[in-house]
Amino acid sequence: MRKRFGELRGIPLVIVALLFMAGSSRAWAVNASPTPVKQVAIATPARDNDYGWNQQGVLAARRAAASVGARVVVADGIGYDNVEPVLGRLARGGASFVIAQASGFNTIAPRVAQQYRVPIITYDSPKNLQKSLVSDIETSSQQGAYLAGILAAKTTRTGTLGIVISASDTNWYKQTGGFVAGARSVKKGIKFRFAQIGQAAYDDAAGGKRVAQAVIADGADVVFGMGDGASFGYLQAVETAKEGHKVWFIDVIGNKTPIDKKHVLLSSVLWNFTPIFKRAIHDIQNGTYGTHLYSLNDSTGISLLKTPYITPALWKLIEYDRQAIAAGKIHGPRTPTESKDRQILKGP
């Protein structure tokens, strides 16, 4: 070592400086290399067989992970009472990215991210943003529901639409407002029958059947249902309706076409989380995660399901309005609370 140092003494300082800078640049390049995402974990409150929120989240996690060759770990059906241990286990288990697939996980998820230094994504809680650790998905679910309202208003024969929700949920409220506004854009005097199962009855299929039967008995011949597992009850109520006319069901988030044996599924406001999960992974790998929020809207994953029961002419009209929403020419209402829903249901 002394000999090598002695040899360097004869080299001009500027060359030594350049050599040092080159070495530093190489070291910096190594440190700045992308962070690989090798394992994606997702935790859902209910089982991933609901053709809705939980299933769509898991499917999207699998697609996003596959795009970078990552492994997927699923913890489904965890409820809301044991969230922190489950998220902690996923973080300790080698996850490079954890998806906390419920707004009810929003308080706990940031704590887990900080404790284990693992990137976690939440929903509808923009204040959670933390560089490299926590980001959040904001939803504009009313946009797809606006289109569903147009479809329902063009389909109804009774002039009465049913809206049933399973819980006091921000997205259910936003979609209710969008649906009402879309329907009124077609028929100002259209009537609505609204019913809610409970405060957090997301998976109450029996309750779903009960409230859907109630709005059908009150004249609704198109039922817009939001509920996760409760939506199976909505579907059953529509299938077994004893009215003298056809009753249709419009679902949300997933696609129940495979189980629509009675051909009553008119459409669904589909939510595809894959593009956002892919973008989040990209941001983790490039060091920009936690610096911005993600928006789920009609341009990034929300769409209306086209079924054979929608005529080409009606679909053309819906597509026209979809493009108008994307261009900012149609601005549906934003009703994230129960009080705002009550106001819009009362009418102008």
Is 156 a domain residue? yes
Is 319 a domain residue? yes
My answer on whether 130 and 216 are in the same domain is no
My answer on whether 179 and 317 are in the same domain is yes
User: What global pTM score does this model have?
Assistant: 0.88
The pLDDT > 70 percentage for the chain reads 90
Q: Are strands 265-271 and 302-304 parallel, antiparallel or unpaired?
A: antiparallel
Q: Counting beta carbons within 10 angstroms of the beta carbon of residue 30, is it exposed (0 to 12), middle (13 to 18) or buried (19 or more)?
A: exposed
My answer on whether 72 and 185 are in the same domain is no
Task: Name the band, by pLDDT with cuts 50, 70 and 90, for residue 34.
Answer: low
Q: Both tokens of residue 247?
A: 């009753």
My answer on whether 285 and 317 are in the same domain is no
Is 301 a domain residue? no
Q: Is the pLDDT of residue 155 over 70?
A: yes
Instruction: Using alpha carbons, select from 163, 81, 170 the residue that is nearest to residue 124.
Output: 170
My answer on whether 173 and 132 are in the same domain is no
Q: Is the pLDDT of residue 23 over 60?
A: no
Q: Which position has the higher pLDDT, 250 or 15?
A: 250
Q: Are strands 39-43 and 97-100 parallel, antiparallel or unpaired?
A: parallel
pLDDT of residue 26: 34
DSSP 8-state assignment for residue 221: S
The domain tally of the chain equals 3
Q: Distance (Å, rounded) from C-alpha 180 to C-alpha 320?
A: 18
Name the average pLDDT for the chain. Answer: 91
pLDDT of residue 332: 84
pLDDT in tens, 106-124: 999 999 999 999 999 999 9
Domain with 14, as residue range(s), is 2-31
pLDDT of residue 341: 95
Is 292 a domain residue? yes
Q: Is the pLDDT of residue 17 over 80?
A: no
Task: Name the band, by pLDDT with cuts 50, 70 and 90, for residue 232.
Answer: very high
Biggest CA-to-CA distance, the chain = 101
Is 190 a domain residue? yes
My answer on whether 194 and 330 are in the same domain is yes
The CATH number of the domain where 99 resides is what?
Answer: 3.40.50.2300
My answer on whether 215 and 231 are in the same domain is yes
pLDDT in tens, 279-333: 999 999 999 999 999 999 999 999 999 999 999 999 999 999 999 999 999 988 9
My answer on whether 175 and 55 are in the same domain is no
Is 302 a domain residue? no
Q: Both tokens of residue 63?
A: 């697609």
Is 50 a domain residue? yes
Lowest mean pLDDT among 8-12, 92-96, 135-139, 333-337: 8-12
**Highest mean pLDDT, choosing among 26-30, 31-35, 41-45:** 41-45
My answer on whether 325 and 198 are in the same domain is yes
pLDDT of residue 337: 95
Average pLDDT over residues 192-213: 97
Q: Is the pLDDT of residue 178 over 60?
A: yes
Q: Is the pLDDT of residue 197 over 90?
A: yes
Please give the sequence-ordered ranges of beta strands (E in DSSP) within the chain, or none if there are none: 39-43, 71-75, 97-100, 120-123, 134-139, 160-165, 191-196, 222-226, 248-253, 265-271, 294-296, 302-304
CA 192 vs CA 152, 174, 187, 223, 337: distances in Å: 11, 16, 12, 10, 18
Q: Both tokens of residue 192?
A: 């609505």
My answer on whether 154 and 203 are in the same domain is yes
My answer on whether 44 and 77 are in the same domain is yes
pLDDT of residue 245: 77
My answer on whether 289 and 321 are in the same domain is no
Q: Both tokens of residue 278?
A: 């892919």
Instruction: Using alpha carbons, select from 322, 301, 342 the residue that is nearest to residue 148.
Output: 322
Task: Name the band, by pLDDT with cuts 50, 70 and 90, for residue 92.
Answer: very high
**Phi, psi for residue 122 in degrees, rounded to 5:** -125, -175
Task: Name the band, by pLDDT with cuts 50, 70 and 90, for residue 143.
Answer: very high
Is 306 a domain residue? no
